């Protein structure tokens, strides 16, 4: 899996959780796989970069805002920047 161990999530998974970026869960695995690969190659993405990666996925549950916010937070965390928990 993507997590470093059974009891610990990776940065992107944690950010998805913090930002409520999960909906029904059907497309989540594919989105996480694509975005994990993307962040390994592009550690400082723009929102447009993230939207481009997401364009290969179809999700009827969401407007992608929570997913994009989660990706930007995970990217910052992976670069060693402080990430504050969402207030929502």
Confidence at residue 86, expressed as pLDDT on a 0 to 100 scale: 52
Q: Of the candidates 24, 41, 28, which has an alpha carbon nearest to the alpha carbon of residue 70?
A: 28
Confidence at residue 66, expressed as pLDDT on a 0 to 100 scale: 94
Percent of the chain with pLDDT over 70: 94
* Residues 41-69 pLDDT 10s: 999 999 999 999 999 998 888 779 999 99
* Distance in angstroms (rounded) separating the CA atoms of residues 67 and 64: 5
* Distance in angstroms (rounded) separating the CA atoms of residues 55 and 7: 31
What residue spans define the domains of the chain?
11-78
By the 10 Å C-beta count (0-12 exposed, 13-18 middle, 19+ buried), 31 is classed as buried
The CATH architecture one would assign to domain 11-78 is Orthogonal Bundle (1.10)
Q: Which residues partner with 5 through β-bridges?
A: 8
């Amino acid at each position: 899996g993507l997590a470093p161990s059974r009891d610990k999530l990776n940065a992107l998974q944690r950010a998805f959780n913090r930002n409520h970026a999960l909906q029904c869960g059907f497309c989540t695995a594919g989105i996480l796989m694509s975005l994990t690969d993307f962040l390994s190659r592009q550690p400082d993405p723009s929102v447009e970069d993230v939207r481009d990666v997401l364009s290969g996925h179809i999700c009827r549950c969401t407007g992608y805002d929570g997913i994009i916010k989660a990706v930007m937070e995970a990217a910052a965390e992976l670069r060693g920047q402080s990430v504050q928990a969402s207030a929502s």
